[in-house]
């Protein structure tokens, strides 16, 4: 089916008190796994392409075209989002390429500079109806301000949204990027306070390290967009390792990549069941 917009998916999820899973595309097989997993789950998803992914592939356009083709071939409602872009020119390129949402990550900048640059991107994006996500401070795991114990202040978050006009805000409430164990402890009271203070949808990064019951609790407290990557990559890599160990003479990369893709698709189905399965029918 044609790509849907992230704004549409976020609006519907928020209205129904559900979460919206945003899952990272690393390569073609991961895009295919997300699409299959979403079809199996019967839930929508956001296909995310990060700045790191762009650097890996050497350019945005080829991997974006691949993700778009996969989405348009799928029966699941899927949107295309640029994740964690610190490069303003990359954000502008994503808008030109037809992404329906972008995340500008100015969290490492001084507050005033983050506000000014984010506000400028919002102004430019609005001409094309593109939703802009931003981050206040840094989510843990990226060598930045949000080390364990650091949290987003609701008052500052409200000021940031008012000053920039962003349409979604990533906040620090206890999660951390690249966690390989589900041991993160979310501050659900803070999630509720942020949801009350900020008019736009809240975004949880680093969700791979969050236990399922905490994720559903966060969604119930007001979190909407839930980003997941490491959990999916782990399942893909584990299946590839297992397939190669089964047959040391295997040389056809399609066979072990297919195993990784199938395992990741099943993991996507489980993740979507947790994130989008709760809420109002």
Active-site residue flag, 252: no
- Phi then psi for residue 147, to 5 deg, are -70, 165
Burial label, 150 (beta-carbon count in 10 A; 0-12, 13-18, 19+): middle
- C-beta of residue 153 within 8 angstroms of C-beta of residue 27: no
- C-beta of residue 146 within 8 angstroms of C-beta of residue 179: no
What torsion, rounded to 10 degrees, do the Cα atoms 220, 224, 225, 231 define?
10
- C-beta of residue 36 within 8 angstroms of C-beta of residue 263: no
CA 181 from chain centre, in angstroms, equals: 18
Among 83, 163, 247, 249, the active-site one is 83
d(CA 47, CA 44): 10
Q: Is residue 179 classed as helix, strand or coil in its secondary structure?
A: coil
d(CA 169, CA 19): 14
Mark residue 90 as left, alpha or beta (left: phi above 0; alpha: psi -120 to 50; beta: remaining). Answer: alpha
Catalytic residues: 83
């Amino acid at each position: 089916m044609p790509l849907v917009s992230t704004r549409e998916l976020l609006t519907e999820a928020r209205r129904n008190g559900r979460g919206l899973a945003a899952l990272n595309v690393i390569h073609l097989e991961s895009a295919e796994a997300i699409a299959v997993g979403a079809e199996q789950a019967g839930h929508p998803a956001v296909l995310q392409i990060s700045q790191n992914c762009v650097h890996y592939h050497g350019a945005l356009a080829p991997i974006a075209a691949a993700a778009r083709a996969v989405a348009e071939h799928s029966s699941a409602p899927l949107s295309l989002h640029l994740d964690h872009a610190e490069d303003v020119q990359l954000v502008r390129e994503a808008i030109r390429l037809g992404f329906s949402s972008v995340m500008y990550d100015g969290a490492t900048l001084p507050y005033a500079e983050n506000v000014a640059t984010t506000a400028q991107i919002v102004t430019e994006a609005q001409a094309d109806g593109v939703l802009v996500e931003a981050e206040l401070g840094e989510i843990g795991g990226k060598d930045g301000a949000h080390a364990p114990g650091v949290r987003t202040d609701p008052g500052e978050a409200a000021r940031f949204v008012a000053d920039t006009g962003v349409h979604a805000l990533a906040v620090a409430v206890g999660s951390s990027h690249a966690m390989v164990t589900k041991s993160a402890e979310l501050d659900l009271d803070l999630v509720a306070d942020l949801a009350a203070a900020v008019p736009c949808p809240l975004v949880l990064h680093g969700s791979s390290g969050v236990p399922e019951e905490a994720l559903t609790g966060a969604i119930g407290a007001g979190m909407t967009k839930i980003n997941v990557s490491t959990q999916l990559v782990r399942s893909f890599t584990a299946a590839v390792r297992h397939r190669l160990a089964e047959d040391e003479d295997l040389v056809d990369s399609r066979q072990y990549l297919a195993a990784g893709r199938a395992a990741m698709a099943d993991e996507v189905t489980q993740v979507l069941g947790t994130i989008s399965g709760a809420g109002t029918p």
